[in-house]
Amino acid sequence: MINIVIAILIVLCTTYIGWGISNYYKQRIKFFKELNDLINYLINNINFYKDSINLVLNKFIMEHKPNPTLTKIINNYLNNSTNFNDMIIKNDEVGVLNNIFLHLGKSDSENQIIELKNYSVQVCDLIKNCESDFDRIGKISLKLGLLFGLALAVCLI
C-alpha cells in the first residue's frame, strides 16, 4: 500500500517538474510579446500624443496590466535603475533590454521611433527563439516528466 502512495507521489512530482519547465518557456514567450506590445505602444504614443516617456510608461502599466516581470522593469526604469535581472531573462537578452530602456527619451521623437522600430525587430527575433525553444523543450518536458515518473513508479512496484 505504501509503495502505491510513494509511486503516485513520484509521478506527481516528476509531472510537476515537467510542468514547471514548460511554464518557464511559456512565460518567456509571454514576456517578450508584452515587451513588443510596449514598444508598439511607445511608438504610437510618442508619435501621436507627444507625451513624456514616463507618462506613456505609466499609462501602459495602467491600461495593459503587464506581467510582473515587465512591470518591475518599467518601474525600475522610472526609478532610474537598470536592474533587469530576472529568472526568465537570459544574460544575452539583458543587453537588448538595456538598449531599449537606456535609449528611451534620449533623442527627438522621430529618431526615437526609428530606434523603437529597430528594437521591435530584435524583440520579434527573441519571440521566435522563445517559441522554437518552447516547441523543442517546453512541449515535451511535461510528457517526459510524466513518463519518467511512471517509469520510476513501475520500478518501485
* Mean pLDDT per 10-residue section of the chain, whose length is 157 residues: 86 92 91 89 75 76 81 78 70 79 75 86 91 90 90 84
Q: What is d(CA 6, CA 14) in angstroms, rounded to the nearest whole number?
A: 12
- Farthest CA pair distance, the chain: 72
Q: Is 129 exposed, middle or buried (0-12, 13-18, 19+ CB in 10 A)?
A: middle
Residue 41's pLDDT is what? 86
How far is it, in rounded angstroms, from Cα 117 to Cα 77?
A: 20
Cα separations (Å) of 82 from 33, 99, 101, 118?
Answer: 20, 10, 8, 20
- Cα–Cα distance for residue pair 35/112, rounded to 1 Å: 16
pTM over 0.85: no
pLDDT of residue 49: 61
Alpha-carbon distance of 19 to 144, in angstroms, equals 10
For residue 105, the model assigns a pLDDT of: 73
DSSP string, 14-59: HHHHHHHHHHHHHHHHHHHHHHHHHHHHHHHHHHHT---HHHHHHH
DSSP 76: H
Contact yes or no for 56/42 (Cβ under 8 A): yes
d(C-alpha 30, C-alpha 132), whole Å: 14
Looking at residue 106, what DSSP letter applies? S
pLDDT of residue 23: 92
